[in-house]
Amino acid sequence: MHRTIIPSGHPRAESLYIRELLVKGFRHGIVVPEGLIAHGRGETFDYMLGEKTTETARTAIKAACSLLLLAIHPVISVNGNLAALCPKEIVELATLVNADIEINLFYWTRERELAIEKELKKMGAKAVLGIRGKDSARIPELLSERRTVDQDGIYRADNILVPLEDGDRTEALVKMHKKVIAIDLNPLSRTSKAATVTIIDNAIRALPAMVIEAKRLKQKKEIILKKIVNEFDNSKNLSESLEIIRRGANARQR
């Protein structure tokens, strides 16, 4: 990240540094222009949430990590924005929970797929699934480019982490009886409502927090992890995030 132009004492420095990461990803062919716009939408919610990982998000992170640790075949789905924001943590989390990493793009091109693969391998990923070819399969009833998945990855997976997702694929994966963990700053999105566990947080904070939580929960017995999952209520958690946004807006008005 180049920190030359943004003064470190700037009140919005952290938020501006995150933008720089996405712009760098865009220049390297990882992020699409639409990804920059999507980030802007996310920023609005992040501002309202206070730009920190809330206790509500931490509860969801606990449930998400438990689900990944309990999975038989977990997969972390990676798109352009996620690869630009936290490539190192994607690989760390995948290693900890024994998950496959699969590239899945809304705005698919061969060049982007290969640029993201290169970035993940640079961070230590041994294998990256989702490179289109003979192992590709299709998610039924899905029209976007995201329908093409790896038959040994998302197609067969039981639990899938889908940061910065579009609602269509989350709904389609749930219909395929898969458990879906979403990371989305918007508690009102279709993705957030359809997922099994939704983490309302910025992916750039959520992924490192998941790495810490997965390390801790990995030491726990299966029965404890199952209890955490069973006690988690996604709709209640989403309502709590909305309430935080409402309270934040009221406090800022004064």
Q: How many residues bind ligand PTJ (CB under 6 A)?
A: 25
Query: Closest separation between CB of residue 238 and ligand PTJ, Å?
Result: 13
Please name which of 135, 161, 132 lies closest in space to residue 145, comparing C-alpha atoms.
Answer: 132
70 vs 76, beta carbon nearer ligand PTJ:
76
Measured CA to CA, the distance from residue 194 to residue 191 in angstroms comes to: 5
Task: Determine which residue in the list 38, 57, 99, 244 makes contact with ligand PTJ, applying CB under 6 A.
Answer: 38
What would the two tokens of residue 60 be?
A: 């969801």
Q: What is the identity of the amino acid at 10?
A: H
Task: Determine which residue in the list 59, 67, 68, 80 makes contact with ligand PTJ, applying CB under 6 A.
Answer: 80
Binding mask 89-128 for ligand PTJ (x = CB under 6 A): ----------------xxx---------------------
Residue 245 as a binder of ligand PTJ (CB under 6 A): the answer is no
H/E segment holding residue 76: strand 74-78
Q: What is the identity of the amino acid at 127?
A: A
Q: Which stretch binds ligand PTJ (CB under 6 A): 57-65, 123-131, 185-193, 213-221?
A: 185-193
Task: Determine which residue in the list 120, 139, 183, 217 makes contact with ligand PTJ, applying CB under 6 A.
Answer: 183
Task: Determine which residue in the list 89, 117, 166, 240 makes contact with ligand PTJ, applying CB under 6 A.
Answer: 166
Please name which of 244, 190, 220, 251 lies closest in space to residue 58, comparing C-alpha atoms.
Answer: 244
Q: Which stretch binds ligand PTJ (CB under 6 A): 62-70, 131-139, 147-155, 197-205?
A: 197-205
Residue 81 as a binder of ligand PTJ (CB under 6 A): the answer is yes
Query: Closest separation between CB of residue 79 and ligand PTJ, Å?
Result: 3
CB 210 within 8 A of CB 93: yes
Measured CA to CA, the distance from residue 198 to residue 162 in angstroms comes to: 10
Task: Determine which residue in the list 42, 74, 87, 187 makes contact with ligand PTJ, applying CB under 6 A.
Answer: 42
| Contacts of 213 by beta carbon, 8 Å cutoff, 6+ apart | 58, 61, 62, 65
Q: Burial letters for 191-219: b for 16+ Cβ neighbours within 10 Å, e otherwise? A: bbbbbbbbbbbbbbbbbbbbbebbeebee
Residue 47 as a binder of ligand PTJ (CB under 6 A): the answer is no
145 vs 222, beta carbon nearer ligand PTJ:
145
What would the two tokens of residue 234 be?
A: 């996604």
Please name which of 129, 116, 114 lies closest in space to residue 80, comparing C-alpha atoms.
Answer: 116
Query: Closest separation between CB of residue 146 and ligand PTJ, Å?
Result: 7
Residues of the shown chain interacting with ligand PTJ in the complex, contacts defined by CB under 6 A? 32, 34-35, 38-39, 41-42, 45, 79-81, 85, 105-107, 164, 166, 183-186, 189, 202-204
